[in-house]
Structures are given as C-alpha cells and as structure tokens.
C-alpha cells in the first residue's frame, strides 16, 4: 500500500465527495475543504448515463439515486419533427440487470445524497475555507488555508472545478478553459406519466431534450449557439428560453407554454478543458473538472468525476508508491476523459453547423459504447 494515510480534498462537489467516500472505505482519512460556507449546489437536473450509474453503484449509492431520481433503459433520439432516428444509444443492458442504462436526478437531490454519504463515511468537512498555498517535501505536503490555519497531510487533491485554484497553483502555465460557442439552458417542469424515458431532438435550429428526474418532475435542456457569449439577464430567462423553443411542438411546447417567472431555470455558457498529462505534481493531483471539464453532450461529466475518485482510491490502496499511483492514475484516466471532452465538443460543433441528424446520432452511439467499457 502507498504511504498515504491522510488526504486533503479541495472542493466539495461530486468529485470531491465521491473521493472522500471511497478513501474512507479504503481506510484512508479524508478531509474536504469547501469554499462555500453553505455547501450549496446550483443547477436544475442532470442526466445520468449507465456508466455513471455503474460508478455510483460502486460507491454504494445506486439504490438511493434510483429511488430519489428516475431511471430508464431507452433514450429516443428524434429529428425536430419528433421522428425517431435512434431508439436507444445502447443495445440491451450492458451493465447487467441491476443497473439501468440511463437516468435523471435533480442536482440538489444528488448533492444531498452524496453529502449525507460523505458525512456518514466519517470524512471531515470544513466549510468556508480553501487552500491559500502549499509547500511540498519528499514525505509530506504542508497546506495553508484561507482562514489562516495550516495542516500537514500526505496528498492534496484538487477537485475544485473548471476554474480550479489548485490547477493555477500546480500548473500556472496550463491551458485555460475555452468557451465552445454554445450555452446550455435547463428548466424543471412537471412530468407527465407518459414521459418514462429521455427524448433528445437534434438537427434543428437548436438541440433540445427532456429527461425524467423524479416521479413527478422532468427537466428540459436546450443548447443554443451563442458565438459572442452574451450575458443572459436572469430576469429574462423565461422569455429567452421560450424564444429558443418557439419552433417545437408536443412536449417541448408544453414546457415552453408553462414557463413563467417562478420557473426553475438555469443557464450557463459551455466551456471545455483538457489538462495534458500528468495531472499531478509531487504530492498534489487534480481530478474531475479541474483536469478535464467537458460539455454536457455525452452526459458524462459527473460520471467521469466519480470514476476518477474510484480509480484514485484504488491506486492509493495498492502496494505501490505514491508516485507510481499518481502516474498510473493519469495513464488510466486520460484517454477515456479525452474521448469524452473531444467527442462532446465535436457534437456541439455538429449542432452549430447543422450537420445531418444521423451523423450526430452515430457519434453519440459510438461514444456511448466506448463509455460502456470498464474503467
């Protein structure tokens, strides 16, 4: 086993919480430093692919996610008129009878599940602080926090998102996140009983879709081409989203017509980032969006974050040195994460260029099959 007995995790999002849970179960003490004193999460719904559900199952959280979210086995990919182009991205149930092919859940609900499991694991969570600086020796890493306190540990993990402060400290010359030309709208709406799977509409002026996220709710997502990355005033979100949905009928029209100032709507510009290997420097390593931020086109950002946590925990528990574990971590994760980032961005470009729907569906299918492979 590596010499790691205490790990500091910077960031209490999906990647950080998943790693804390996995490390505690492996007998390695984990502490999270989260800058938000209220440990909040922003956003509406999230699509959960089969590989993500498989990773959550390894954390012991599949049943709770399925119970509090909504799982299904088929995703209908349609043209703008609603004609089905592809009945499902994945054939059969490649992950076994226990694990559905897809699902959806509200982001605050998923955060609640993970944060409760983090606390229950015994991991320490410190809120309202982050890392101000680090000093490394061959045997330890000393950390200074933003509240003036300090600590010493064996490993620091940067899980602090696409605009990672840890990445700035470790790799000051690293590439910065790049805007992709699209913005993503999400809105939560009541779920009709007939919506028992996801529907994705491609090939039109915008890509849009609907995903069930609970017994009573679903969320709509829409990807808009915004080359100049304009500011979208929050008070105008219902009207701006309704305008983008103007060409759709059916379920999407129903959601559009129900939008109002009280609607749960979220908008954010899409950015990408892929840090070249290695993802560590000495006794500090990056995981999740801090190392590989992707767009939502393959619905795999959360899944990659949980997989990072599982693989890193496994390697830190192996009978190898810390340096070997960190090199192997990047080696095992890089190509899979690169595929997701690059294919997601490629799908976005196809949408902006109005590429044929079948080409878009085929790249989605190929990517989904690649993600079904074991981590």
* pLDDT tens string 156-207: 999 999 999 999 999 999 999 999 999 999 999 999 998 999 998 887 789 9
Q: Given the structure tokens 């799977």, which residue do they identify?
A: 197
- Please, which pLDDT band fits residue 91 given cuts at 50, 70 and 90? low
Q: Is the pLDDT of residue 325 over 70?
A: yes
Which of 1-5, 28-32, 360-364 has the weakest average pLDDT?
1-5
CA distances from 262 to 209, 234, 259 (A): 21, 12, 8
Percent of the chain residues past pLDDT 70, beyond the cut: 98
Look at residues 64, 29, 11 and name the one whose alpha carbon lies nearest to residue 313. Answer: 29
Q: Is the pLDDT of residue 1 over 60?
A: no
CA distances from 203 to 1, 179, 206, 207, 256 (A): 51, 22, 7, 7, 19
Report d(CA 279, CA 291) in Å as an integer. 7
Report d(CA 257, CA 238) in Å as an integer. 10
Instruction: Give the pLDDT score at 90.
Output: 63
Instruction: Give the pLDDT score at 365.
Output: 85
| Greater pLDDT, 253 or 15 | 15
Sheet holding 45-49, edge to edge: 45-49, 102-106, 70-72
Q: Given the structure tokens 């899980």, which residue do they identify?
A: 159
Query: What confidence tens digit (pLDDT) does each residue in 235-251 have?
Result: 999 999 999 998 888 88
Percent of the chain residues past pLDDT 90, beyond the cut: 82
Which of 10-14, 71-75, 110-114, 324-328 has the weakest average pLDDT?
71-75
User: Which whole number is the average pLDDT over 29-44?
Assistant: 94
Which of 77-91, 297-311, 361-375 has the weakest average pLDDT?
77-91
Look at residues 304, 306, 328, 303 and name the one whose alpha carbon lies nearest to residue 315. Answer: 328
Instruction: Give the pLDDT score at 85.
Output: 78
Report d(CA 24, CA 123) in Å as an integer. 7
Instruction: Give the pLDDT score at 357.
Output: 79
- Please, which pLDDT band fits residue 291 given cuts at 50, 70 and 90? very high
* H or E, element range at 56: helix 50-58
User: Which whole number is the average pLDDT over 340-361?
Assistant: 91
pTM value?
Answer: 0.95
Instruction: Give the pLDDT score at 89.
Output: 61
Instruction: Give the pLDDT score at 334.
Output: 98
Query: What confidence tens digit (pLDDT) does each residue in 128-160 have?
Result: 999 999 999 999 999 999 999 999 999 999 999
CA 30 to chain centre: 21
Instruction: Give the pLDDT score at 6.
Output: 97
Write b or e for each residue in 283-321: b if 16 or more Cβ atoms lie within 10 A of its Cβ, otherwise e: bbbbbbbbbbbbbbbbbbbbbbbbbbbbbbbbbbbeeee
Residue count of the chain, please give it: 375
């Amino acid at each position: 086993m590596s010499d790691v007995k205490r790990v500091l995790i910077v960031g209490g999002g999906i990647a950080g919480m998943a790693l804390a849970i996995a490390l505690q179960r492996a007998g390695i003490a984990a502490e999270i430093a989260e800058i938000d004193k209220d440990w909040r999460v922003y956003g509406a719904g999230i699509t959960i692919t089969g590989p993500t559900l498989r990773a959550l199952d390894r954390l012991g959280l599949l049943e709770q996610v399925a119970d509090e979210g909504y799982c299904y086995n088929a995703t209908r990919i349609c043209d703008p008129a609603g004609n089905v182009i592809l009945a499902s991205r994945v054939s059969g149930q490649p992950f076994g009878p226990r694990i559905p092919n897809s699902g959806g859940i509200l982001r605050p609900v998923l955060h609640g599940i993970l944060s409760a499991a983090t606390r229950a694991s015994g991991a320490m969570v410190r809120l309202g602080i982050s890392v101000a600086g680090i000093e490394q020796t061959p045997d330890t890493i000393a950390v200074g926090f933003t509240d003036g306190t300090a600590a010493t540990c064996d490993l620091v993990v940067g899980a602090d998102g696409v605009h990672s402060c840890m990445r700035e400290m470790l790799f000051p010359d690293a590439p910065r996140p790049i805007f992709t030309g699209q913005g993503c709208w999400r809105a939560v709406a009541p779920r009709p009983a007939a919506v028992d799977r996801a529907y994705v509409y491609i090939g039109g002026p915008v890509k849009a879709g609907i995903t069930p996220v609970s017994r009573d709710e679903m969320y709509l997502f829409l990807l808009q081409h915004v080359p100049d990355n304009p500011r979208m005033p929050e008070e105008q979100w219902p009207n701006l989203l309704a305008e983008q949905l103007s060409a759709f009928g059916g379920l999407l029209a129903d959601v559009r017509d129900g939008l109002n100032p009280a609607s749960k709507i979220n908008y954010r510009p899409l950015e990408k980032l892929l840090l070249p290997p290695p993802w560590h420097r000495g006794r500090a390593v990056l995981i999740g969006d801090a190392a590989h931020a992707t767009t939502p086109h393959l619905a795999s950002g959360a899944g990659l974050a949980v997989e990072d946590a599982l693989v890193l925990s496994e390697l830190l528990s192996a009978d190898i040195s810390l340096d070997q574990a960190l090199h192997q971590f990047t080696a095992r994760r890089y190509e899979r994460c690169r595929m997701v980032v690059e294919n997601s961005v490629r799908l976005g470009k196809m949408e902006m260029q109005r590429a044929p729907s079948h080409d878009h569906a085929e790249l989605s299918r190929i990517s989904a099959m690649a993600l079904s492979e074991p981590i």
